[in-house]
Structures are given as structure tokens and as C-alpha cells.
Chains A and B, each alone.
Chain A
Amino acid sequence: MFIIKKISNLATVIFGVLLLTFLLIHLVPGDPVDVMLGESASTADRVQLREDLGLNQPLIQQFGSYLRKLSVGDFGYSIQTKTPIIELIKMRYPATLKLAFLSLIIGLSIGIPLGIYAALKAGKWQDLVVTLVSVRLSAMPAFWLGPMLMLIFAVWLGWLPVSGMESKASIVLPALTLGFGLSAILTRMTRTSLLEVLNDDYIRTARAKGISEPNVIIRHALRAALLPIITIVGLQMGGLLAGTVITETIFSWDGIGRLLVESIEKRDYPVTQACVLVVALSYVLVNLFTDVLYRLADPRVKFAS
């Protein structure tokens, strides 16, 4: 029941996003007819193409026609490249998914253990070192960290390709760039969250019952500390699935974020609309998944009807 309610809410959100994007695109300066025909076309040709594309119709009719096509999976064609947009999405979105998941795995596998370690060593020099490293990492923008990683691992050491998507190893550096940033956030969040629960009565009780320290940390403390971490992971994952434009650009990674920005620059409106739809869907699905995880992590959590 909860999932059904959530999904119906998501449909409303998606409709809102579609409507808003459609309206905003028509407010931005620039015109697809200008993009297609250039500056030398005659007024008659412009009027004709505008009519052919249905751009002379009232906005509400255009939106209705757009929704009708969308309902049968017709995203239309790119104005610039004449490619079916569904093909572009099929090509670009898996690349973003791959990069997002690998970055998440890197972020989780570095951030959570380091956060636990820092919490257990709270106030000691180890905690200070971990905090310093995580603050440093979170302060490094991708446009600086990315080229530095390229310089070290590709140019100096020659272990990995600089950028591109030609080999399987190409994903490592962009995933590290994103994963390091994510791990820094997760380290700090895990440390703070764990420190809060480590002083709670039930942890003291668990220890008093003779449960081993790793069990106390993993089964009791970490589970309770997971809720804020899940929130952060959900938000970050939404961002990753929306495409990380800077990282994708630096590493020539053909993902959805880059496609979106390029389509905005070139006023390729059908592509922009399709990308926004995919990004919005990603966000709401990740949110839904986060809500489900919340409930699994803490059965006491109830959802408002």
C-alpha cells in the first residue's frame, strides 16, 4: 500500500517536472527553427517549418501533443543530429549508471569504514587525521581532482588511460574522482552519527550483556546510525544518476549529464526535455528506494498516510 501511494505521488511529481520543463524551455531565449534553418532562411520557410513542427499551436496544445507522443515512448528526434532521442538515451544513460554505481561503491567502501574508525578513535590523533583527509577531499572540486588523478595515474605512472570510454579501465579515474568526494561526506556523516548512538543506553546494555565489541558496533550501533547515512547516500546517488557534468566533461564520459548540458547549449529542446525526464525519474526512484530502505533499517519508522 505504501509503495502504491508513493508511486502515485511520484507520477504527480513527474508530471509537474514535465510541465515546468516544457514551460521553462519556451521562456529561454533561442528558437529551434533558428537552430535548424540558420540565419539565411526566408520567413516563408520559417513559418512553414514552424507549422510542420507544431510550434505555431498554443502552448497547451503543444504540451498535450508532447504528452501523447511520450505515452507511446516517442521522444522524438534530436534537432541537431537527427538521431532518435531514445537511441541517445539508450547510449548515454547506461554510461551514467555504470559510473554512478562504481562511484557509490568506492564512496561507501572508503567512507563508512573510515567513519567507523574515526568514531571509535574519537578525540585521538587517528580521528584528527581521518577528519583532515575527509575535509580535504570534500574541498577538492572535480575539475581539479580529475586532472590531478590523470596526471598521477595516467601520465606519470602510466597505469590508466587519461580519459575516454575505449577501455574497461577508463571508468576508474572518473569513478575515483566522484567516489573520493562521496567518501569524504560519508566519513564525516558516519562518524557523527555513530558517535551519537555509541553513548546511548542500549549500547551500554549490549556491552554489559557481554556482546563482542564488533557485534555491538555492527549490529547495534551502526544499524541505528544508518538512517542519516541512507538519506545522504540517497541524495548523492540522485545527483550521480542525474549525471555529473563536470566529471563527465573532463573525462570525456558520454553520460546523460553531458548530453543534457550540450542540448541546452545547442537549444536542442526535444533532447533537453527527454534528459530532464530521465533525470527526474532517476531522482524520484532513488527517493522511493531510500524510503523503503529507511523502513527496512528501522521498522519503527511509519509513513504518514
Chain B
Amino acid sequence: MLGTACTQHHQSDHHEIVFAVAQAPLNLDPRYATDAASERINRLIYQSLVDFDVHSKPIASLATWLEVNPKQYRFTLNKPRALFHNQTALNANDVKATYDSLAALKDSPHTAEFANIQQIDVLNSDTLVFRLKWPDKHFPAKLIIGILPADLLAKHQDFTHQPVGNGALKFVSWQNKLMLQRVKDGQKISVLEVKDPTVRVLKLLHGEVDLLQGELPPELVKYLQTQSEIKLKSSVGANFSYLGLNMQDQFLKKLKVRQAIAHAIDRNAIITKVMVANTRIASAILPPEHYTNDASLPPYDYNPALAKQLLKEAGVSLPLKLVYKTSTDAQRLRFATIMQAQMQPAGIDLEIRSLDWGTFFSDIKQGNFQLYGLTWVGIKTPDIYLKALGSNSNPPNGFNRGRYTDSALDSLIANENWPAVTMRIHQQLPYIPLWYEGQFAVMVKGINNYLPKFDGNWDDLATIRTYAH
């Protein structure tokens, strides 16, 4: 259908840059936001104390910090710093008010993350001290919540719908689309939800939209690359896709069965045939460029004969019947179908169950699965190992959905011996690593200064430019 599409291109009104996304932000209050779109937009509306470098090491954003002792951190706000969008100056009281208000909320998904804060003391307008209940070496890396103005917090401002931050973009309106304006030069940028990928592409071709990022099937990306009015920018990604395993299952608790599954998936074929450019085979949760990662971990190669052999050695009668749960997302279903075909020669009979997101995720959290497919998005800190695979991190105490218990891994995590942690996970396979999906953005030719980032953030909306063409 699209083969004959782009006969007319209507140049859009470049007073405003229109960015179409599959899912609009749900909540612009950083104390509540959990969905990827809200977090990406909130990074632009607000600034946080801490951010991360390309190796995911925490770095100063609004403030530098000093570890006074493992239970006390002193933060000093940088100068100069941007005013809040209501033209008031940001100071240490705003930081305290933000984190105090977060601790007081009873219905925020982020409150538990900061349960360790005992007290926040403001020393002067630029300096404050966080006192903790128990030592936490990674505490600064958690301070990524956008800072809100203390006076508006006191007035119970509705930040969800009327956000006021001091980020590069300020809020204008939110009706059918979210309208933002760049503080520096007044450039208007709107974020428009268009769920259907084909419709997003048609809108780009028609000039109603200037920019798309990710969330398109590879065939549409390939088609767009043939269009003279459209350009594509891509980069490697860091979001980790994996197969989750129920470690209490009678078959999956056997290491040889897990190894067999790892050898029964031809990741190279999937990446080459049905994924976008720059997708990389994954060996660990955190990507090779992460400061904790041991880049030398070899991926499990596709070897159905070896997989079958491993299953026999594990004492499993073939074919091994397994149920794989996934969401209704078309691309996820496509991966599931391919893996089902790839596993067959290895003696694995994979039954696919596609469930609506709420039911699927509820089943995963309750441990009601054998195999499932998910992606960790935007993971920066190595405490993911403890939360996702620690023996005491079963839901609701963490994300150890497969109920994996491994005292050796627990002690390696406790000692922060990250190369050994990644090696242990690689050998024991509580997850079957799949890939880090490549990131890409497609845009009309008149758009410049926009590049997709490895974690999929939209930070370049702060610098994006549009030129008439």
C-alpha cells in the first residue's frame, strides 16, 4: 500500500515541530510518572540533581555531591542554573520540598525508592544534606526525580496537568496533543499520540508530522529509507530484551534445560530479518558500554543439535512442551512465532499465549508462567541485579519474577563484584538474553540536530531545529 504512497509531500507549518509517538505521556508530575513517555518528557520539563553519562555513571546535573559518610550526602547546587518556568529561582529549599513531598505521598510508585531518607537538612540556598537510615553507596544515582518549586508544592499545584519545572522545555497546553515550548528560543514542539504505526508513517509522508522515533516495524523503516523527503538516524540501543524463566518449574529449574533454550534461539537470524539496524545480541542485562559490564561474555550460539543433546542429558522426554506468554503487541508476537519455529528442531514444543497487557503483567508478577518475553527499559544502575535476581527480591519485594534463588549470586552482588555477577548470571541463565534493540528516528529533511539516544530518550528535543526545505 505504501509502495505508491509518497506522491505528494505537504510541508508542515514549521513554526511548530510535531513529534508523533505511539503512547502519549500519562502523567507530567515526576513524583508519579512511571511510563516511558512521561519520563522522557519530564526529563525535558524538569531538571534533576543527578543524571548519567554514556557509561551510565551518575554525574552532576543540577548539583555536585560529596559522600560525607555512607549515610550522609551533601549536595551543592551548580551555578548558574535555570529559573523555574514561573520565573522563580531554584534553590535548596525546592529540592528538600520535592523529596519531602514525595515521601509524604501515599500513592506514588516512587515513594518506596526513597524510604531510606531519614531527613533532609538545608544548609543554605545552595547546599543541602541527605541523611539516610542505612548506608547506600548508590544513593546519588537515585536522585533523578525532577525538582518542583517549593511554593507551588505548598499550594498543591496540579503538576500532572500544569507542570512547572526548570528544564529546557516549558509546558504550554495539553488537549489533544501536548504542546511544549523551548525556553531558549520559543520554538514550539508538540507531542502527538498516533497509535497505529502505518498512520504515523502516513502522517510523516503527508507532512502532518515532522519526527518519529522507534516503535515502527522494520519493513516500514526500510520503506521510509527509500523516500527522498525523509531521513533516518540510528544508533545502538541499551534496552535489554530477554526471555524470563520460572525457576520453580520442574523443567526450567534444570540448568541444562535453560542452556538448551539459550542454544535453541537463532538471535542472528531474528536480528537480521525482522529487527531494525544497530540491534545487538545481548549477553548481559546491562549493555557492553556500561561501566559494570564485562564485554567479553560470549553469546549463546544457535545450535539445535546441542540443545537437543542438553535436553536429553537433563532427562527430559522430547518434545519438551513449554508455554510462552507474551503481550498482544504485533512485533512481540512475531518474535514468539519465529522462536517457536526455531525451537522445534531442538525438541522444544513452544505454545504461545498472547494476553492483554494487564493480564500478562499480572501473571508475570504472580509467577504464573513458564516462559515470558519482556524488555528492561532505561536501566542505568547495577542495583538491577539485586532487584531482578536477588533471592529476597521476589514480588512484591522486588522484580525477581522468576523466583530465582542463588546464594552465590547474592554474595557477589553484595560485594559489588560486577564482572563476577554478570558471569554468574551468564552461566546460570535465570534470564535468556536476547538483544538490545537499535534506536532510530525518522524525520522530514528539514529537521536537524536530532539524534536517537541509546536508551531511547527524547533529549534532543531540547536542541532540534527545523529549516524550510
Which residues of A come within 8 Å of B, CB atoms?
28-31, 34, 36-43, 45-46, 48-49, 52, 80-83, 147-148, 150-151, 154-158, 161-166, 249-252, 254, 264-267
Contacts and interface: CB of A to CB of B under 8 A. Distances in A.
Contacts of B202: 147, 150-151, 154-155, 162-163
B135 to A, nearest CB: 19
B206 interface: yes
Contacts of B112: 37-38, 40-42, 45
B7 interface: yes
Interface in B160-188: 160-161, 176-177
A164 B302 CA distance: 45
B396 interface: yes
A82 B29 contact: yes
B459 interface: no
Contacts of B250: none
A46 B358 CA distance: 19
B198 interface: yes
A10 B161 CA distance: 37
A81 B26 contact: yes
Interface stretch (B45-53, B259-267, B359-367, B426-434): B359-367
B106 A249 contact: no
A223 B293 CA distance: 78
16 contacts: A30-B358, A30-B362, A34-B362, A38-B109, A40-B398, A41-B112, A46-B396, A80-B27, A82-B32, A151-B5, A155-B5, A158-B10, A163-B203, A252-B193, A264-B356, A266-B358
Interface of B: 1-2, 5-8, 10, 26-27, 29, 32, 34, 106-113, 115, 158, 160-161, 176-177, 192-196, 198-199, 202-203, 205-206, 208, 356-359, 361-363, 365-366, 387, 395-396, 398-399
Contacts of A162: 199, 202-203, 206, 208
Contacts of A156: 5, 7-8
Given A31-B362, A36-B107, 6 more contacts: A29-B359, A37-B111, A45-B112, A82-B160, A252-B194, A264-B358
A62 B203 CA distance: 45
Contacts of B108: 36-37
A81 B160 contact: yes
Contacts of A31: 362
Given A150-B202, A162-B208, A37 B115 contact: no
